[in-house]
C-alpha cells in the first residue's frame, strides 16, 4: 500500500509541485493521473520512488517511510518499484538485453554488474520479461534500431525484470502513435491483472484515461481535485480538473482497434 | 504482437558471435604488453619514484620554499613566452586562412585541395620543438632576441599546419547555399570567399585560433629548453644546476599563467560560438555537440 | 513622391550602432600584438628580418641535403623505443583517465566541493607541458625511457580526462534517471547509463592522444627521457645537419603512417 500523508513538494525557485497531498493507493490497483502540464503529475510519480524528495509530509511504501530512508534503503525500495518513461530512457548504443538487465542492477550487486557477468538466473529473468512483452527475438538488437513502440516495450521489460510490486509510468504513450499507444496500454493493463502489480500511470489523453483507468486522480496546481472511477469521469469532471474547456489536443481520438496490429 | 500468456523459450535468439572483437582486443593487449616488456624499464627504478618525486617536491616548494626572489625574472620569462605564443599564433592564423581555404575540396576542387592538404600534413607532422631546434635556431642563431625569433617562427609554422587542416575541414562542411548565391550575383572568386564562405566559418575558426593559442602557450614555455626563448631556458638551467627552488617558482608561474589564459580563452571561445549560433562542422573528427562551444570539438592533433 | 520620401514616410530604422565592445576588442588585440612584437617590450619580431634571415639561412639549409642515409639504421632502435613509449603511455594514461574523467564531471560527481577540487587538480595537471613533466621525472628517476613514459602518462591523463569530462557533461540524462529509478548505485549508474554513451568518444580521444604521444616521445629524448630525441641532441651538438634531416624525414614518415592507420581504425570502429 502506498500512502501519501500531507505531502508537499516545493522546488527551488518556489514552484509548488505538490500541495498537502493525502492519498492511499491499495495494492494491485491500476490508477491513472490526469492534469495539465505542471499540475504535479510527474512530481507525484517521482515522489513515490524518491527521485523527487518531499519538502514536507511523508510518503509510505508498505509502512516504510521514504523521508527517513538512507541512500542504501532508498535504493532497496527503488529496486522493487519499476518505472517507464515518456522518452523510454534506453541506452541507445547497447543491446535490448543489456537494457533489460539494468533492471537487475540492484540484485546483481556492484561487482557483477561492473564486468557484466550476470548470473544465469538474472539473465533468465530478463529473457522472461522480454517474452512477456513479446519482443524476445530482438534481445541482441541494438536499442536504437527499434521503433518507438518496441522501445517502450523494452522499457516495460526492464521494469518487469526488477520483479517489482509497483509500476510507475510517466506519460508512457505520449511519444507513440494511437494504435501503438493502445497496445502499450493494454500490455500495462494485462501486467496489472496477471501479476497484481500496483500500476500508476500519468496520461494526458483523457479518452485513454477513461478507458484504462480503474481509478482516476485529477491534479490541478499540485492539489488533488478529483478521485473517482473511470466510468464516473465525464467531460464536466475533466473540465473541472483542467480548469478550462477541453480542446482537441486533450483526446487521442482513436478507438482501440479490434484486431491488434503487429 | 501483444504480450503472450505462455512464454515459449524455444524462440529465444542466440548471443551473437564475438570473435572479431575478441581477436582485436587480444592483439591490442599483446601490443601493449610487448611494448611494456621490451622498452627497457628497470622496474626497480619505479620503486625510486615516490621518494624521488617527494624529494623534488619538497625542495621545490617546501623546504626553502620556491625562490620568491626570482619571481620577477620568472614572470619576465613567462611574459616572453606569452609574447612568442601570441605572435606565433597570429602568424599561424593569418597564413593558415588562405591555405586552409585552398585545402578545401569545395573551394579548390579535388586534386588541388589534396595537394594542399598533404603540404599541411607535412608541416604538421614535426613538433614545434624539433622545428625550432633543427631548423630555425641554426638559421637565426641564439642569444637575445634571436632565440625568441626562432621560437616564434617554429610555433608559427607548426600552427599553420594544424590550423590549416582544421580550417579546411570547417570550410568543407559549410552550407553551399550562400556560396551559390554569391556566385549567382556575379561575384569574383575572392568575393565569393569573402561573402559566401567566410561569414559561415569565421566564428568556429576564430575559436580554433584561441584554442591553438592555449596550446602554443605550453609549447612556448618549453621551447626555452632548447634555447628558443621564453621561460623554458631559465627552467632548464635551474633543473640542470640543481637549483630546484628556482625551478619551483618558475613552475608555479607557468601553471598560474596557463590556467588563467586557458580560462579566459575558454570563456571567449564560448562567447564567440554562442553569439554566432555557429553550426558544428562535420568531418570524420571527434566532434561532439557538447564540445562545440569550446572549440575542443574538432580535435587539434598537435596539442602536444 | 520620391523614393526617398516614401521611405521616410514608412519609417526606416536607423542603422544600429556597432557595439562598443567589438571596437574595444579589436583595439586591445592590435595593442597586444604591437606590444608583443615590439623590440622594447617584446620579442623584437619584424617581417623584414624574416627575409634577410632566410637568405642567410639558405647556406645552412643546404647542409641538410643530401640526407645521410647511412645514418638511418642507427636510428631504428631509438625510433622503436619512441613507439613503445607512446604505446605504453597511451594505454596507461588513457586507462587511468577514464575514472578520473568521471570524477571531474558534474554528471557523475554531483557533490560540488569535491567536483571543484577534482576539476582544479585536473586543470593543474593539464597546464604542464609534456616536456616539463619529462624534466621533473628525469630529475626524479634518472634518464632513459622510464621518465618519458611517466611524463606522458601524466600528460595523457590531463588531456584525455578533460576532453572526456566535457563529453560526460553532455550525455543524455534519461538512462541515468532510469538506472537510478531501478535502484542502481553510483558505480552501476556510471557503468551502464553513462559509459555506453561516451565509449565511442573515448576510443577516438585515445587514438588522438596516441598520435600526440608519438610526436611528443620523439621530442622528450632531448632532455634525456628516451627515444629518438637523444639522437637529435647529439646530431645538433655536432652540427650534423645531414643526420638531422634523416631523422626529420623519418619522423615525418612515421607520423604519417600512424595517422593513416588511425584514420582507418576510426572508420572501422564507427
**One-character DSSP codes across B57-118:** HIIIIISS-S-GGGHHHHHHHHHHHHHHHHHHHHHHHHHHHHHHHHT-HHHH-HHHHHHHHH
Using the Cβ of A172 and the Cβ atoms of chain C, whether some distance falls under 8 Å is answered with no
Flag residues of chain A having pLDDT under 70.
256-262
- pLDDT-flagged residues of chain C (< 50): none
Distance (Å, rounded) from C-alpha C25 to C-alpha B275? 15
Whole-number pLDDT of residue B185: 87
- When CB atoms are compared, the residue of B239, B294, B301 closest to C139 is B239
Say yes or no for a CB contact (<8 Å) between B255 and C42: no
Q: Do C263 and B284 touch (CB under 8 A)?
A: yes
Q: Tell me the H-state helices in chain B.
A: 19-38, 43-57, 71-102, 105-108, 110-125, 128-130, 137-140, 145-172, 176-184, 189-192, 198-223, 231-240, 244-276
Q: Is the pLDDT of residue B294 over 50?
A: no
Is the separation of the CB atoms in A201 and A32 below 8 Å? yes
CB atoms B13 and A140 under 8 Å: yes
- Nearest CA of chain B to the CA of A101: how many Å? 14
Residue B277 has pLDDT above 70, yes or no: no
Give Cβ neighbours of residue C6 (< 8 Å, ≥ 6 apart).
none
Torsion sign across C-alpha atoms B9, B10, B16, B17:
positive
Question: What's the CATH fold of domain C69-269?
Answer: MetI-like fold (1.10.3720)
CB contact under 8 A, A158 and C182: yes
On whether the CB atoms of residues B132 and B150 are closer than 8 A, the answer is yes
Query: What are all long-range contacts of A186-193, with beta carbons under 8 Å and residues at least 24 apart?
Result: A186/A256, A186/A260, A186/B2, A187/A133, A187/A153, A187/A156, A187/B2, A187/B3, A188/A30, A188/A156, A188/A212, A189/A30, A190/B2, A190/B3, A191/A132, A191/A156, A191/A160, A191/A167, A191/B3, A192/A28, A192/A30, A192/A167
Beta bridge partners of A2: A25, A61
Nearest residue, CB atoms, A260 vs list B2, B8, B16:
B2
A66: cell is 521514504
- The CA angle A253-A255-A260, to the nearest 5 degrees, is 135
Cα C26 to Cα C31: distance, rounded to the nearest angstrom: 9
Residues B218-231 have a mean pLDDT of 84
With CB atoms and an 8 Å threshold, state whether B3 touches A187.
Answer: yes
Assess contact for C203 and C177: CB atoms under 8 A: no
Work out the mean pLDDT of chain B and round it to a whole number: 80
Contacts of A105 in chain C (CB under 8 A): 179, 182-184, 188, 192
The yes-or-no verdict on residue B97 having pLDDT over 70 is yes
What is d(CA C35, CA C44) in angstroms, rounded to the nearest whole number? 10
Give the nearest partner residue to B126 out of C43, C49, C251, using CB atoms. Answer: C251
CB-CB under 8 Å, B3 with A190: yes
**Given this model, what pLDDT does residue A27 score?**
92
Instruction: In chain C, list all ranges with CATH 1.10.3720.10.
Output: 69-269
pTM of the entire predicted model: 0.81
Q: Do C218 and B130 touch (CB under 8 A)?
A: yes
- Mapping DSSP to helix (H, G, I), strand (E, B) and coil, where does residue A49 land? coil
Spatial distance between the Cα atoms of B155 and B87, rounded to a whole number of angstroms: 9
- pLDDT score, position B199: 82
Residue pointed to by grid coordinates 523510454: A88
Omega within 30 of 0 (cis) for the link into C39: no
- Predicted pLDDT at B281: 36
Q: Check residue A221 and give its pLDDT.
A: 87
- What's the rounded Cα separation, in Å, for the pair B98 and B188? 16
Interstrand relation of A198-202 and A2-10 (parallel, antiparallel or unpaired): unpaired
Please indicate whether residue C102 or residue B124 has the higher confidence score (pLDDT). Answer: C102
pLDDT band with cut points at 50, 70 and 90 for residue B126: confident
Q: Kindly report the nearest CA distance between residue B140 and chain C, in angstroms.
A: 6
* Residue B149 contacts C, CB cutoff 8 Å: yes
Average pLDDT over residues B254-274: 88
Say what the alpha-carbon torsion angle B165, B168, B169, B173 is, to the nearest 10 degrees. Answer: 170
Write down the pLDDT at residue A77.
93
Name all domains of chain B by residue range, CATH numbers in brackets: 59-294 (1.10.3720.10)
B10: helix, strand or coil: helix
Return the SS3 of A93. Answer: coil
List A residues 222-261 in contact with C (Cβ-Cβ < 8 A).
none
Q: What percent of chain B shows pLDDT beyond 90?
A: 17
Out of A92, A94, A106, the one facing C182 most closely (by C-beta) is A106
Res B230 pLDDT > 50? yes
Amino acid at each position: 500500500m502506498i500512502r501519501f500523508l500531507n505531502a508537499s513538494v516545493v522546488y527551488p525557485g518556489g514552484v509548488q509541485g505538490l500541495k498537502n497531498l493525502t492519498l492511499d493507493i491499495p495494492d494491485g490497483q491500476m490508477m491513472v493521473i490526469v492534469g495539465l502540464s505542471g499540475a504535479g503529475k510527474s512530481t507525484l510519480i517521482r515522489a513515490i520512488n524518491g527521485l523527487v524528495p518531499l519538502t514536507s509530509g511523508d510518503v509510505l511504501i508498505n509502512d516504510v517511510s521514504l523521508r527517513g530512508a538512507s541512500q542504501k534503503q532508498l535504493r532497496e525500495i527503488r529496486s522493487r518499484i519499476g518505472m517507464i518513461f515518456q522518452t523510454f530512457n534506453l541506452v541507445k548504443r547497447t543491446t535490448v538485453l543489456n537494457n533489460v538487465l539494468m533492471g537487475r542492477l540492484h540484485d546483481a550487486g556492484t561487482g557483477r554488474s561492473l564486468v557484466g557477468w550476470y548470473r544465469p538466473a538474472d539473465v533468465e529473468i530478463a529473457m522472461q520479461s522480454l517474452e512477456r512483452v513479446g519482443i524476445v527475438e530482438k534481445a541482441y538488437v541494438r536499442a536504437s534500431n527499434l521503433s518507438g513502440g518496441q522501445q517502450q516495450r523494452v522499457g516495460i521489460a526492464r521494469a518487469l525484470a526488477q520483479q517489482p510490486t509497483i509500476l510507475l509510468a510517466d506519460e508512457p504513450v505520449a511519444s507513440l502513435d494511437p494504435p501503438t499507444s493502445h497496445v502499450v496500454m493494454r500490455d500495462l493493463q494485462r501486467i496489472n491483472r496477471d501479476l497484481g502489480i500496483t500500476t500508476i500511470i500519468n496520461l494526458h489523453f483523457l479518452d485513454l484515461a477513461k478507458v484504462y483507468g480503474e481509478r482516476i486522480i485529477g491534479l490541478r496546481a499540485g492539489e488533488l481535485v478529483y478521485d473517482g472511477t473511470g466510468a464516473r469521469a465525464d467531460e464536466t469532471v475533466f473540465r473541472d480538473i483542467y480548469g478550462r474547456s477541453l480542446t482537441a489536443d486533450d483526446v487521442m481520438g482513436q478507438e482501440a482497434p479490434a484486431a491488434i496490429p503487429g | 504482437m501483444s504480450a503472450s500468456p505462455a512464454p515459449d523459450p524455444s524462440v529465444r535468439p542466440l548471443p551473437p558471435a564475438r570473435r572479431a572483437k575478441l581477436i582485436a582486443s587480444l592483439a591490442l593487449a599483446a601490443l601493449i604488453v610487448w611494448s611494456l616488456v621490451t622498452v627497457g624499464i628497470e622496474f626497480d627504478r619505479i620503486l625510486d619514484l615516490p621518494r624521488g618525486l617527494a624529494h623534488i617536491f619538497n625542495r621545490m616548494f617546501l623546504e626553502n620554499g620556491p625562490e620568491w626572489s626570482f619571481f620577477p625574472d620568472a614572470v619576465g620569462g613567462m611574459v616572453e613566452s606569452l609574447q612568442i605564443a601570441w605572435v606565433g599564433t597570429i602568424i599561424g592564423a593569418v597564413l593558415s586562412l588562405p591555405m586552409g581555404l585552398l585545402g578545401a575540396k569545395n573551394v579548390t576542387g579535388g586534386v588541388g585541395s589534396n595537394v594542399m592538404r598533404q603540404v599541411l600534413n607535412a608541416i604538421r607532422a614535426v613538433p614545434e620543438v624539433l622545428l625550432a631546434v633543427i631548423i630555425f635556431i641554426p638559421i637565426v642563431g641564439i642569444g637575445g632576441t634571436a632565440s625568441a625569433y626562432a621560437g616564434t617562427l617554429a610555433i608559427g609554422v607548426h600552427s599553420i599546419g594544424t590550423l590549416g587542416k582544421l580550417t579546411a575541414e570547417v570550410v568543407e562542411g559549410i552550407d553551399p547555399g550562400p556560396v551559390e548565391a554569391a556566385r549567382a550575383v556575379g561575384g569574383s572568386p575572392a568575393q565569393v570567399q569573402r561573402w559566401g564562405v567566410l561569414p559561415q566559418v569565421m566564428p568556429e575558426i576564430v575559436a580554433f585560433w584561441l584554442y591553438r593559442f592555449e596550446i602554443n602557450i605550453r609549447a612556448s614555455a618549453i621551447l626555452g629548453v632548447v634555447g628558443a626563448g621564453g621561460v623554458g631556458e631559465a627552467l632548464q638551467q635551474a633543473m640542470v644546476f640543481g637549483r630546484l627552488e628556482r625551478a619551483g617558482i618558475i613552475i608555479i608561474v607557468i601553471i598560474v599563467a596557463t590556467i588563467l589564459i586557458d580560462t579566459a580563452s575558454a570563456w571567449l571561445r564560448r562567447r564567440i560560438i554562442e553569439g554566432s549560433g555557429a553550426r558544428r562542422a562535420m568531418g570524420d573528427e571527434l566532434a561532439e555537440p557538447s564540445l562545440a562551444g569550446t572549440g575542443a570539438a574538432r580535435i587539434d592533433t598537435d596539442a602536444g | 513622391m520620391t523614393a526617398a520620401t516614401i521611405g521616410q514616410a514608412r519609417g526606416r530604422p536607423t542603422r544600429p550602432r556597432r557595439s562598443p565592445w567589438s571596437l574595444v576588442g579589436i583595439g586591445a588585440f592590435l595593442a597586444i600584438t604591437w606590444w608583443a612584437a615590439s623590440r622594447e617590450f617584446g620579442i623584437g619580431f619584424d617581417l623584414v628580418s624574416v627575409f634577410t634571415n632566410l637568405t642567410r639561412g639558405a647556406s645552412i639549409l643546404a647542409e641538410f641535403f643530401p640526407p645521410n642515409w647511412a645514418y638511418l639504421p642507427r636510428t631504428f632502435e631509438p625510433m622503436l623505443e619512441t613507439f613503445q613509449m607512446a604505446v605504453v603511455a597511451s594505454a596507461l594514461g588513457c586507462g587511468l583517465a577514464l575514472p578520473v574523467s568521471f570524477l571531474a564531471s558534474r554528471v557523475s560527481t554531483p557533490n560540488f566541493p569535491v567536483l571543484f577540487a577534482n576539476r582544479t587538480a585536473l586543470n593543474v595537471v593539464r597546464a604542464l607541458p609534456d616536456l616539463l613533466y619529462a624534466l621533473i621525472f628525469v630529475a626524479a628517476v634518472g634518464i632513459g625511457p622510464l621518465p618519458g613514459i611517466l611524463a606522458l602518462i601524466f600528460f595523457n591523463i590531463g588531456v584525455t580526462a578533460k576532453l572526456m569530462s566535457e563529453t560526460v557533461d553532455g550525455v543524455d540524462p534519461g538512462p541515468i534517471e532510469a538506472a537510478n529509478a531501478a535502484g542502481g548505485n553510483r558505480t552501476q549508474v556510471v557503468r551502464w547509463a553513462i559509459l555506453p554513451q561516451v565509449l565511442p568518444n573515448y576510443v577516438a580521444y585515445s587514438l588522438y592522444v596516441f598520435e600526440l604521444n608519438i610526436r611528443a616521445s620523439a621530442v622528450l629524448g632531448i632532455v634525456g627521457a628516451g627515444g629518438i630525441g637523444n639522437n637529435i641532441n647529439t646530431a645538433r651538438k655536432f652540427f650534423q645537419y645531414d643526420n638531422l634531416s634523416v631523422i626529420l624525414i623519418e619522423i615525418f614518415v612515421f607520423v604519417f603512417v600512424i595517422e593513416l592507420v588511425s584514420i582507418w581504425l576510426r572508420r572501422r570502429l564507427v
